[in-house]
Structure 1
Amino acid sequence: MFPAAPKTQLVLGSPGPATVAPKDVHFYDFLKPWLGDGLLLSAGDKWSSHRRMLTPAFHFNILKPYMKIFTKSADIMHAKWQHLVTEGHTHLDMFEHISLMTLDSLQKCVFSFDSNCQEKPSEYIAAILELSALVAKRHQQIFLNVDLLYYLTPDGRCFRRACRLVHNFTDVVIQERRRTLPSQGIDDFLKAKAKAKTLDFIDVLLLTKDEDGKGLSDEDIRAEADTFMFEGHDTTASGLSWVLYNLAKHPEYQERCRQEVQELLRDREPKEIEWDDLAQLPFLTMCIKESLRLHPPVTVISRRCTQDTVLPDGRVIPKGVICLISIFGTHHNPSVWPDPEVYDPFRFDPENIKGRSPLAFIPFSAGPRNCIGQSFAMTEMKVVLALTLLRFRVLPDKEEPRRKPELIMRAEGGLWLRVEPLSASQQ
């Protein structure tokens, strides 16, 4: 999956020591022109400082208002599905529809911007999708690792053009937001917005300060916003698409999830998932986690050891070695997960979790550099999955999808499922 690296590489596919190690820069350099020095790509003191500063952006008080955004974006997607079904289109590519839905949500959560991208073309959204595809394509073409060569190719020129478009969009939002801030009392102004529950990610980035009272520069804010848009859409779309696939293949689990949601929302109109409801969906949560084990959105991560690391069997990984940690391999290791190809949500029953290594299940990575947005992602997946199962029955397509690991876990030619709208009485 990764191109050749300049140092020795080691592939790990089982739970091991949680050692602090920075990300290997070789592959991630391909993303630098797009994402800048955000959390994904920064290192050292800058990463530590930004991680501390951005952690409040994912506090549950910030996430709570996003619930309505997730619901609205899911409503739009489901209305599209209803329309397509009435026209006779019951086979849908989950990746295509869910990716647009997650991008729609993210634009609203990050920028408070509604592009209506699920219903009409958006130049900004098209650019993000193009950048993701170009990076995935480039890192499979070793001869294009050299920037000088890459930017002479048509793909390289497209990449630069799409970067400019995405950066210009983010810069305009930041500059406009700064212009609307009062010249004095900025903190009070933003805190008032927070009390009114209208804070978006840009607001939080403008509000945050380090221990010395210094805020983020416009360049830093752009890097973090662009990173969140990149990391937050594809991974969540992959997680949602594959859990719908797994539930389509296991109708008994799908029906149990549906009954759990129906019972929760039985006397409510409109049918909306609220923050406190999330803890009342234990089986649905188990189904999501088992799908993330079987089909982790990110299949491999890369780390460079900053010190000699002793493995449980006594062998030592020397300092400087680049480790490719196979999340997919760990999740499919039969010594850790018996019958690893079997979809069994009960693996995540509280009784069955006891005694299992916390590093046996790492869909969001692990250690200090784990995914800062995992609560955001899990919240969105729970809301969208619950509403989807409340309104539709999902059925498998005739052809079994082939897993296709790129930047995220995809399916060759798309992940196609059949959808059947449920009547009001069935909901």
Structure 2
Amino acid sequence: MEASWLETRWVRSLYLAFVFCLALGLLQAIKLHLRRQRLQRDLRSFPAPPAHWFHGHQQFLQDENMEQLEEFMDKYPCAFPCWVGPFQACLFIYDPEYAETVLSRTDPKSQYLSKFMTPCLGRGLGNLDGPTWFQHRRLLTPGFHSNILKTYVAVMARSVNTMLGKWEKIGGAQDTAVEVHEHINLMALDIIMKCAFSKETNCQTNSTHDPYVKAMFELDKILSHRFYNCLHHHDIIFKFSPQGYHFQKLSQVLRQYTEQVLQDRRKSLQGGVKQASAGKTEYQDFLDIVLSAQRENEDSFSDADLQSEMNTFILAGHSTTAASLSWFLYCLALNPEHQERCREEIRDVLGNGSSTTWEQLDELCFTSMCISETFRLFPPVPAVSRELSKPLTFPDGRALPAGMIVVLSIWGLHHNPAVWKNPKVFDPSRFSKENSAQRHPHAFLPFSAGSRNCIGQQFAMLELKVAIALILLRFKVAPASPTPLASSNHVILKPKNGIHLRLQKLPACPIPGYGD
């Protein structure tokens, strides 16, 4: 029986569609194959560790196998190619000379990873490039001037004292084991919400938290998951995954929240007075600074720009500081002699800490050295990346073409045995004036360097000093377990399973502003 004309046409159409899809798939396969060959050719002068044919070095990156990285640094001096899946590679560097070569240029940040944050944060300093980035940086810099930061000391102290009050209730005068990272994380978020929005979230005492607070915490986890899952690097695959669906919902929460905060602030300004939180001394928060910048640059700084910078400041600011403070307490718990010396210095300078000032905090020299040594061992941001806008030649003559992604491993740089003697040992004397003067200027980069260094580094240092001073005046910390802590290789270097410390309350005056 002969096939009808309709059946024949249907089969022919299906056959043509199949051939078309097969041709597209073949072209894509050829394109990817040529891409892999080009990357191998561009990186041929850099020997590479063995890599899985599909995952590349993904397992090493995801598990944060620091011992393996140490082996790689010993076997491959200065740098090695790192494959993220079969068709994406970068050059992983950890040498001061290499770092200086890269950071002295104006190459943009790699969009390969920063693009993941754009849907929730928008286009802010973290993922902008070129003249727009420079303009935003110039407009926001006044918000981190010392005259502005000085007014935050009392704000920060109140949030720290709230946390210390919780610790007193948990342990009283007993020597009690506490998972401190969760408490510190909430405290850091409480501080940054006050300094950014003058917003009282009560996140330290309210277990349900503010919707914006919950969204920030959950977004941080999803972004970390996506960074180290090469399948989710593809936008369509991620979008239709459970994490991608949740990510879109959380991003919407952030946008709606910042829009509402912006509207409320403008209404209060139109009324002539910004409503301060109850019991709070009036100060100029980050939103005030950004609104002022917008009024002076209405044509080039939109509401979307403003909201992006606010979200970037909060997401980047609270996680890094919380991780750094947690690691600092862990380091001092393992080194009680350094802890006691910090405490003595703080007592000499601040007394009981009831009226801490910017000038006093600047006198905490040994404490600052301990902070720097903590940054060396546990850099809050373990790596930064650049996409080369033009060819680059390193001091040893090896070169890379334009378009290549270079990842500076700050962790690797800070643990490089060619730079640091006994790099695993906690030794604050490395940061004495004499030792610092003898070291390569790009051997220690906790806040990166060059034009794209961290704009909020003074804010972070201020918050750390306030928190450290008040904590050490009231508590002695000791490790709750002899087992070394593992770190988790997220965007921020965090403790993998929290940080459990034994807190011993010291004889002192009652915590100001708590439980009166």
1:419 is matched with which residue?
A: 503
Question: Quick one: distance in 2 between partners of 1:425 and 1:224?
Answer: 40
Kept after mapping to 2: 8 A contact 1:301/1:327:
yes
1:33 is matched with which residue?
A: 119
1:173 is matched with which residue?
A: 261
2:368 is the alignment partner of 1:285: yes
Cα distance, 1:288 vs structure 2:
0.3
Where in structure 2 are the equivalents of 1:324-403 lying within 5 Å?
A: 324-398=407-481, 399-403=483-487
2:331 is the alignment partner of 1:250: no
Cα distance, 1:309 vs structure 2:
2.1
Q: Secondary structure at the match of 2:438?
A: coil
Paired AA for residue 91 in structure 2: L
Deviations 1:317-374 (A, max 9, x none): 3222100110000000111111111110000011111132221111111111111000
1:203 is matched with which residue?
A: 288
Question: Quick one: distance in 1 between partners of 2:346 and 2:369?
Answer: 14
Cα distance, 1:208 vs structure 2:
1.0
Q: Which has the higher contact order (CA 8 A, sep 6+)?
A: 1
Q: Secondary structure at the match of 2:362?
A: helix
Cα distance, 1:114 vs structure 2:
0.4
Q: Secondary structure at the match of 2:201?
A: coil
1:410 is matched with which residue?
A: 494
Kept after mapping to 2: 8 A contact 1:206/1:216:
no
Cα distance, 1:44 vs structure 2:
1.2
Q: Which of these residues, 123, 128, 145, is aligned with residue 59 of structure 1?
A: 145
Cα distance, 1:426 vs structure 2:
12
Cα distance, 1:19 vs structure 2:
2.1
Paired AA for residue 284 in structure 2: L
Paired AA for residue 136 in structure 1: S
2:99 is the alignment partner of 1:13: no
Question: Quick one: distance in 1 between partners of 2:328 and 2:284?
Answer: 30
Kept after mapping to 2: 8 A contact 1:391/1:422:
yes
Percent identical residues: 40
- Count how many residue pairs are aligned between Structure 1 and Structure 2: 416
Question: Quick one: distance in 2 between partners of 1:393 and 1:416?
Answer: 13
TM-score normalised over the length of structure 2: 0.77
Q: Which of these residues, 72, 76, 99, is aligned with residue 185 of structure 2?
A: 99
Where in structure 2 are the equivalents of 1:264-279 lying within 5 Å?
A: 264-266=349-351, 271-279=354-362
Question: Quick one: distance in 1 between partners of 2:232 and 2:86?
Answer: 14
Kept after mapping to 2: 8 A contact 1:67/1:273:
yes
Q: Which of these residues, 372, 388, 402, is aligned with residue 319 of structure 1?
A: 402
Deviations 1:241-274 (A, max 9, x none): 11111000000000000000111123x6x62321
Where structure 1 has 5 or more consecutive residues not aligned to the other structure, the ranges are 191-195
Cα distance, 1:209 vs structure 2:
5.0
TM-score normalised over the length of structure 1: 0.92
Question: Quick one: distance in 1 between partners of 2:297 and 2:467?
Answer: 40
2:80 is matched with which residue?
A: none
Paired AA for residue 405 in structure 1: N
Question: Quick one: distance in 2 between partners of 1:87 and 1:126?
Answer: 32
Cα distance, 1:108 vs structure 2:
0.3
Where structure 2 has 5 or more consecutive residues not aligned to the other structure, the ranges are 1-60, 63-83, 275-280, 512-516
Kept after mapping to 1: 8 A contact 2:174/2:504:
no
Question: Quick one: distance in 1 between partners of 2:106 and 2:423?
Answer: 28
Q: Secondary structure at the match of 1:65?
A: helix
Q: Which of these residues, 219, 226, 236, is aligned with residue 138 of structure 1?
A: 226
Cα distance, 1:314 vs structure 2:
2.2
Where in structure 2 are the equivalents of 1:126-165 lying within 5 Å?
A: 126-165=214-253
Kept after mapping to 1: 8 A contact 2:173/2:504:
no
2:164 is the alignment partner of 1:78: yes
Question: Quick one: distance in 1 between partners of 2:470 and 2:292?
Answer: 33
Question: Quick one: distance in 2 between partners of 1:37 and 1:146?
Answer: 20
Q: Secondary structure at the match of 1:335?
A: coil
Question: Quick one: distance in 2 between partners of 1:169 and 1:105?
Answer: 18
Deviations 1:51-77 (A, max 9, x none): 111111100111111111110110000
